[in-house]
Structure 1
Amino acid sequence: MAEQILILDFGSQYTQLIARRVRELNVYCEIHPYNNIPELTDDVKGVILSGSPCSVRQDDAPDVDLTLFKNKVPLLGVCYGAQLMAQKGGGKVLPSKIREYGRAKLAKLDQHNELMKEIAIDSVVWMSHSDTIAELPENFKVIASTPSVEVAAFKVEGEETYGIQFHPEVTHSAQGKELLRNFVVHIAGCAQDWTPDIFVESTVEELKAKLGNDKVVMGLSGGVDSSVAATLIHQAIGKNLYCIFVDNGLLRKNEFEDVLDSYKHMGLNVKGVDAKQKFYDALKDITDPEAKRKAIGRVFIEVFDDESHKIDGVKWLGQGTIYPDVIESVSVKGPSATIKSHHNVGGLPDFMKLKVVEPLNTLFKDEVRLVGKTLEIDDTILGRHPFPGPGLGIRILGDITAEKVRILQEVDHLFINGLKKAGLYDDVWQAGAILLPINSVGVMGDERTYEQVVSLRAVTSVDGMTADWCHLPYEFLADISNDIINGVKGVNRVVYDISSKPPATIEWE
């Protein structure tokens, strides 16, 4: 087992960021809810307590027994975690007299302290708290202050226990990564040897031991996660991996053929299933977005189940689940409210009676791409924009017909290829076109037209949780609009979506 840092989640919006920053140091870490702590094994080299939207002064404030860790492994409390340490040690945590949110500068600093080594005076840190540590316990020592926060950081004397009231994990904290490196590498002593190469090597060995000669079936989407997961499983069991790629009639233009071809070049055993008509029949006259998603998911399960039963002796279902999905399912506050359901293999029902294998369930999306590079998966797959499971089904507002799909496929094809030709594709996190349920008046030649409107959407993002609309050049948008109106029969108007997330979502449905 790789040495690791254990992160206890008290519900902060930044908890995943702490894990990402630790992973960037080539150190493995795991997030666990504060109320579901795993056994402290020898591979745990340090523990980080996250922030929280709660106050330690609340009667029902999240709490943890610190004796589980103190004097056993180094301990770092971040914001709420630091306040919890101070309060449990006999200090005082009170409401802040002034608002402590946003950028602040370190004004005093004990640069001899291991946590603060190479951190500069006046270094910018990010504060985000309504309480403050007003009084420290006797054996606690201040190691950093800002002009308005006396206890910006502390160390417990005689222990490798530290607390900071700012957030080193956010990019606004200028030397946050250095501070985390001080804790993870210099104080906790992690070796920084958790790399994509090591991950591939150890994961393939684990898969060989777990799967043996068993057969695995896996649904592929053409996306990054399922492609990388399939490649790892294939390296472990070869021909015993059976992949299924379903054409739901809602893919991009030529995507079914192109993806099948790319998988064959990767040596994967993939069966393509043309199920377009089944999906179109199930979607007939459905206009509600959630009803469309559920219909697409239901038919996918039926098709996948039928194909799986054609393979004798399958015992495992392979999935491309990644770490954020796992964290979400065991979050402190429970799974987030459902904004929209997603169609993916993870939704397969119990009646399939298959054991599940998820080789990527400890990785973030950016780490999946790095592992894909190690596996030498083609950049055309690794660099693909995210594409929703229900495909064009949620980019056609209103009911779905084969003709509407044709129109949107042509529009999308011109837009995506245009981004690639203009060298803009890699600057965009996700792009696509939406077919609107309205017609508009136009003039083509000397004739009046009354045809459909499409909206183009392109956003920049890191992980899809927030996104900003992409400021594409006007000249590019003008050319693409012209190409679409001239090249796609049935469209006479193109608009560009300039909404950010939040408040708008990336997809329209």
Structure 2
Amino acid sequence: MTPRSSAEAQAAAAVTPGARPVADAREERIVVLDFGAQYRQLIARRVREAHVYCEVLPAATPAAEVLARNPRGIIFSGGPASVYAPGAPRPDPELYRSGVPILGICYGLQVMAYQFGGRVEAAGQREYGGRKLEVRDWSDLFAGLEASGPLEVWMSHGDHVVEPPQGFEVIASTEAAPVAAVRHRERPLYGVQFHPEVSHTPQGTAVIRNFLYRVCGVHGLWQMSTFLENQVEALRRRIGQERVVLGLSGGVDSSVTAALLDRAVGDRLTCIFVDHGLLREGEVEEVREAFAFLGDRLVVVDARERFLAGLEGVVDPEEKRRRIGNAFIRVFEEEARKLGPVRFLAQGTLYPDVIESGDPGQAGGPAPAASVIKSHHNVGGLPADMAMELVEPLRELFKDEVRELARELGLPQRLIGRHPFPGPGLAVRILGPVEPQSLQIVRRADAIVREELERAGLHDEVWQAFAVLTPLRTVGVMGDGRTYGYLVAVRAVTSVDGMTADWARLPHPVLERMASRITGEIAEVNRVVYDITSKPPGTIEWE
């Protein structure tokens, strides 16, 4: 996390002079209500970047459940629906009467206007892309931005508000959207038609921070040092004198979880590393070396035959994840029984895992317009009859926040900067059944991709890079003979938190070396392609 700016501190002081700082950062909670927005996680990230704790809840969450969290503010996300369509998602009207500040973004503005009696219509032409925002009132949302002149904002909508409801005033407009931002004259209700959360709105972060600091009156208490202190104490209270086992993968998520638990409960922690046969080249040895300091508290389990047998003939990626998640838990339970009574199982589950899995544990259930993108093995793949209680100390964090926490814990940079690796491992990088030969192919291709990135000095410039084995076979020529080999796809992306990503513009010579080595060193492969899809519309992993 970046240090809190002096402007933020001044804004907070201006809104709440002499106010006593809140002890727990979660008491400054902001709730994002999700109407099926493509960028709902990005809204949450912008709030977290402003040092304010944030949660994402489904749009249908009853007001009583939202308000029970004592939010300092509420943000309505955008969404693909039209407010006048049958079944269009609506927030509970009681939220408007609560006195809690609300900011509606895109659909969030439209649904607020609609519920208050304003007029929302289909735009004559869908507005998409950059626009100049003419601001009429430079207070509140736009405070401090006067020097910028007309603001550049990003629009993406098919409907728009053509007549604001009674009690609201227009505070900004564009040529095509005369109602581009509104404010209620008496209540702390605001709405913007543009998307302040995206990077294409250069001053968008400032708009969100103005809402947080000037309207909601937060102090900006969400700091990793505070989270670390609070989480260690919370783990001590919950675990007490009981024992806990952690599923260790060697990635940054489970490594940070291990460090947190080691600080909280010490020798009552045992780390279990499962070699399920779906790991990258050399990974078992790397984990043994990195966590040798645990001594006999690191248990390495060879479960390769068990996992591969359970995946035999399985093609559907969701079924792969379910079976792998189930097998993980069973292995942990068996190993835990060997240790004696163990009450808790720890996992490095992150907030994006929870959101993308459509976790029903979120208040109100999944949003009407939202869907399960993919079940993460540690969320959607857990068996219902699990014997141990779950401990997930990172469940509230995004990936970049986990890396910041790793630095607070003093973990080595080689672990902090390690590329993410999916829990189901190489099983979801094989499009088709998981067999010994396909594992051998994708494992070696993946190693070549990583080796060439390191050789080019690009490892730290890329968020994630890997190879995917497709079921496609193509005709090729090697030497004087015809081949009919597999097609391997190379994927490399840049990102901040994994919620959105862009394909990495790797230098052509690097791509050439990857392709040459993969086809030259892996006899079964005769064609390599490079994936240039961003997220969205794709995901980072192929399955």
Would you call these one fold, judging by a TM-score over 0.5?
A: yes
1:116 paired with 2:142, answer yes
SS in 1 for 2:404: helix
SS in 1 for 2:289: helix
Instruction: After TM superposition, give the deviation of residue 244 of structure 1 in Å.
Output: 0.8
The code of the aligned residue for 1:48 comes to I
Alpha carbons of 1:228 and 1:80: their partners in 2 closer, same or farther (altered >3 Å)? same
Instruction: After TM superposition, give the deviation of residue 175 of structure 1 in Å.
Output: 0.8
Cα displacement string for residues 329-360 of structure 1 (whole angstroms, at most 9, x for unaligned residues) = 24312762566x55447633233322222111
1:496 paired with 2:529, answer yes
Cα displacement string for residues 48-102 of structure 1 (whole angstroms, at most 9, x for unaligned residues) = 2222322222353333344545472322222222233333333322332343332
2 CA distance for matches of 1:423 and 1:247? 29
Alpha carbons of 1:499 and 1:190: their partners in 2 closer, same or farther (altered >3 Å)? same
Cα displacement string for residues 133-179 of structure 1 (whole angstroms, at most 9, x for unaligned residues) = 22233432221111222221122113332222222111111211111
1:146 corresponds to which residue? 174
The code of the aligned residue for 2:371 comes to S
1:385 corresponds to which residue? 419
Alpha carbons of 1:414 and 1:198: their partners in 2 closer, same or farther (altered >3 Å)? same
| Among candidates 91, 98, 123, match of residue 96 of structure 1 | 123
2 CA distance for matches of 1:107 and 1:469? 34
TM-score of the pair, normalised by structure 2:
0.83
1:233 corresponds to which residue? 261
Alpha carbons of 1:471 and 1:180: their partners in 2 closer, same or farther (altered >3 Å)? closer
After alignment, is 180-189 or 394-403 more displaced?
394-403
Structure 2 residues not aligned, in runs of 5+ = 1-23, 360-364
1:332 corresponds to which residue? 367
Cα displacement string for residues 459-503 of structure 1 (whole angstroms, at most 9, x for unaligned residues) = 2143556655433223223334455566x4645745233352567
Aligned positions of 1:346-365 closer than 5 A: 347-365=381-399
Q: Contact between 1:218 and 1:318, CA under 8 Å: does it hold in 2?
A: yes
| Among candidates 443, 448, 466, match of residue 432 of structure 1 | 466
Alpha carbons of 1:7 and 1:504: their partners in 2 closer, same or farther (altered >3 Å)? closer
2 CA distance for matches of 1:107 and 1:17? 25
2 CA distance for matches of 1:397 and 1:28? 38
- Count of residue pairs the alignment pairs up: 503
Q: Contact between 1:287 and 1:397, CA under 8 Å: does it hold in 2?
A: no
Give the percent of matched residue pairs that are identical in Structure 1 and Structure 2.
Answer: 44
1 CA distance for matches of 2:441 and 2:115? 63
Instruction: After TM superposition, give the deviation of residue 302 of structure 1 in Å.
Output: 3.5
Structure 1 residues not aligned, in runs of 5+ = none
After alignment, is 14-23 or 221-230 more displaced?
221-230
1:12 corresponds to which residue? 37
The code of the aligned residue for 1:12 comes to A
Alpha carbons of 1:210 and 1:298: their partners in 2 closer, same or farther (altered >3 Å)? closer
Instruction: After TM superposition, give the deviation of residue 253 of structure 1 in Å.
Output: 1.6
1:163 paired with 2:191, answer yes
1:22 paired with 2:51, answer no
Instruction: After TM superposition, give the deviation of residue 123 of structure 1 in Å.
Output: 0.8
2 CA distance for matches of 1:503 and 1:100? 19
1:460 paired with 2:486, answer no
RCO higher in structure (CA 8 A, sep ≥6): 2
Instruction: After TM superposition, give the deviation of residue 228 of structure 1 in Å.
Output: 1.8
Aligned positions of 1:205-224 closer than 5 A: 205-224=233-252
After alignment, is 300-309 or 230-239 more displaced?
300-309
2 CA distance for matches of 1:484 and 1:128? 41
SS in 1 for 2:343: strand
SS in 2 for 1:127: strand
| Among candidates 422, 431, 438, match of residue 456 of structure 2 | 422
1:373 paired with 2:407, answer yes
What RMSD over aligned residues (CA atoms) do the two structures have, in Å? 3.1
Q: Contact between 1:234 and 1:268, CA under 8 Å: does it hold in 2?
A: no
After alignment, is 313-322 or 58-67 more displaced?
58-67
Q: Contact between 1:289 and 1:394, CA under 8 Å: does it hold in 2?
A: no
2 CA distance for matches of 1:342 and 1:32? 19
TM-score of the pair, normalised by structure 1:
0.88
Q: Contact between 2:126 and 2:159, CA under 8 Å: does it hold in 1?
A: no
1 CA distance for matches of 2:33 and 2:446? 43
2 CA distance for matches of 1:94 and 1:454? 48
1 CA distance for matches of 2:420 and 2:477? 33
SS in 1 for 2:126: strand
